Amino acid sequence: MSSSIKIGSIMGIPIKLHITFLLILPVFALVFATNPQPFGFADIGSTTESYALSLLTTILLFGCILLHELGHSYIAKSYGVEIRDITLLLFGGVSSMEEIPREPSQEFKMAFAGPLVSFIIGFALLGANIVAVTVMPAYQGTSIYLMVGILASINIILALFNLIPAFPMDGGRLLRSWYAKRMSYVKATHYAATVGKMFAFIMGIIGLLSNAWLILIAFFVYIGASEEDKSTTVTVSLEKFRISDVMTKDVISVEPEMTLEELSHFMFENKHLGYPVMKGNSLKGIVTFTDIRNILPHERYATLVSDVMKKDIISVSSDANAAEAFKTMTMNNIGRVLVVDGDNVAGILSRTDLMRLLMLSSE
């Protein structure tokens, strides 16, 4: 079952709601409904009216977050980067990009686009309130005035927060683009990640003394910085190698008519956990240990490989670099990928093969 629900598309980009967004929506509405002015609607009209205003404000807030992410995506698409989707979740929004531009100026523009959109929204709403009060003094203090003020303030705070020079915030990418003009991309990422970890440490100390939420944010920042540093190092290192140099060329295949009981013994004997499924010279799918482990032992005698195999085959070509295979595995959350040239299965490549290559190359 997917953890995200597609609600539409903008600029050809699928927009999704993560299950955590559906959980946080009523929480945000409750916070706005139980706080007084200027941060909520507790003292505005009836309880029903305050909750309705709070829910509307929450929806508009996440609409602003969506515009923030579309700012990133618009610039990225202009540089030819594919955007798989934008997902709204617990802590905001995430644009799933095929890759981050390596050119420092391009990464700078892409990273700054999101905060710029938030600044524009925030100051535009703030200006709208000021103009409206000047023209109609009675407007001040109304529920609409309060809602616009809350959205303006949060958008400005969101922009400032995202400019903190720490991954995974936009400020971390801005800092890396600045470093990347002066050193290699890997070293620039490492330096930017180190700065991010320092911010996380300071934020965690402040959180211990004042606000527990800062501890959670600090943990989020530290993990984000570490993952960005590690994934960039791995990707750049793997770009030096071709898939044909790493893959297993002697591919062992299985037939679709094989039972899962036979397949489990076959896996044990051959010491591999994934196999292409072939009918003659025709590739039908791929089957892995994950596909059979949830099948009860007594059911494996009557269940065929064709019943559980994945027919939507994810593959790479042998002349691509190893980083492409790593990216494909990561994006699709799989442990191995078939190497297919034309209609022929040229080999198979696992995540373990790539990790072993990294270890050997570092030695």
Which residue pairs, CB below 8 angstroms and at least 24 apart, start in 2-11? 4/85, 4/87, 6/85, 10/66, 10/70, 10/86, 11/70, 11/73, 11/74, 11/77
Cβ pair 50, 44 in contact under 8 A: yes
Strand partners, 92: 89
- DSSP structural state of residue 242: B
Is 239 labeled as catalytic in the residue annotation?
no
- How far apart, in whole angstroms, are the C-alpha atoms of residue 213 and residue 193? 22
Distances (CA, A) of 217 to 21, 36, 39: 17, 26, 21
Strand partners, 96: 85
| Residue 80 Ramachandran class (φ > 0 left, ψ -120 to 50 alpha, else beta) | left
C-beta atoms surrounding 277 within 10 Å: 24
Strand partners, 95: 86
- How far apart, in whole angstroms, are the C-alpha atoms of residue 168 and residue 162? 9
C-beta atoms surrounding 174 within 10 Å: 23
- 49, 69, 257, 363: which is the annotated catalytic residue? 69
Q: Are strands 83-89 and 13-18 parallel, antiparallel or unpaired?
A: parallel
- How far apart, in whole angstroms, are the C-alpha atoms of residue 108 and residue 9? 26
C-beta atoms surrounding 84 within 10 Å: 13
Please report the DSSP string for 244-303 in residue order.
Answer: HHHSB-S---B-TT-BHHHHHHHHHHHT-SEEEEEETTEEEEEEEHHHHTTS-GGGTTT-
- What is the maximum alpha-carbon separation in the chain? 82
User: Catalytic positions, please?
Assistant: 69
